[in-house]
Amino acid sequence: MQSESIYQKTVLLWKNLAIQTPASLNWYLDSFRVLFAYHSAKIENDAISYNDTHEIFHSGKVSSFTGNPRTLFEQQNQKTCYEFLIPRIIAKEPITLGLVKEVHAILTAGTYDERRYLEKEERPGEFKKHDYVTGLLEVGSSPEDVPHDIALLLTEIEDLTESKSIQPETLLKAATYFHARFEYIHPFADGNGRVGRTLLNYFLMSNDHPPLIVYEEDRSLYFEGLRSYDRQEDLDPLFTFFLFAIEKTWEKWVERTLGDNKEVVKSRLKDLI
pLDDT one-digit tens code per residue, 221-230: 999 999 999 9
Q: Which distant-in-sequence residues (6+ apart) come within 8 Å of 165 by Cβ?
A: none
Per-domain boundaries in the chain: 2-271
Q: Give the per-residue pLDDT at 201.
A: 98
Q: Give the per-residue pLDDT at 155.
A: 97
Low-confidence ranges of the chain (pLDDT < 50): 1-3, 261-262, 264-265, 268, 272-273
Q: Give the per-residue pLDDT at 56.
A: 92
Q: What is the CATH number of domain 2-271?
A: 1.10.3290.10
Spatial distance between the Cα atoms of 217 and 245, rounded to a whole number of angstroms: 11
Spatial distance between the Cα atoms of 235 and 232, rounded to a whole number of angstroms: 9
Cβ pair 210, 250 in contact under 8 A: yes
CA proximity to 35, closest of 222, 270, 199, 204 = 270
CA proximity to 73, closest of 22, 126, 113 = 113
- What is the number of helices (H) and of strands (E) in the chain? 12, 0
Q: Give the per-residue pLDDT at 4.
A: 52
Spatial distance between the Cα atoms of 250 and 265, rounded to a whole number of angstroms: 13
Label residue 45 left, alpha or beta by phi (over 0 means left) and psi (-120 to 50 means alpha). beta
Q: Give the per-residue pLDDT at 60.
A: 82
pLDDT one-digit tens code per residue, 165-214: 789 999 999 999 999 999 999 999 999 999 999 999 999 999 999 999 99
Q: Give the per-residue pLDDT at 173.
A: 97
Q: Give the per-residue pLDDT at 257.
A: 75
Cβ pair 30, 269 in contact under 8 A: yes
* pTM exceeds 0.85, yes or no: yes
* Residue 177: Cβ within 10 Å count: 19
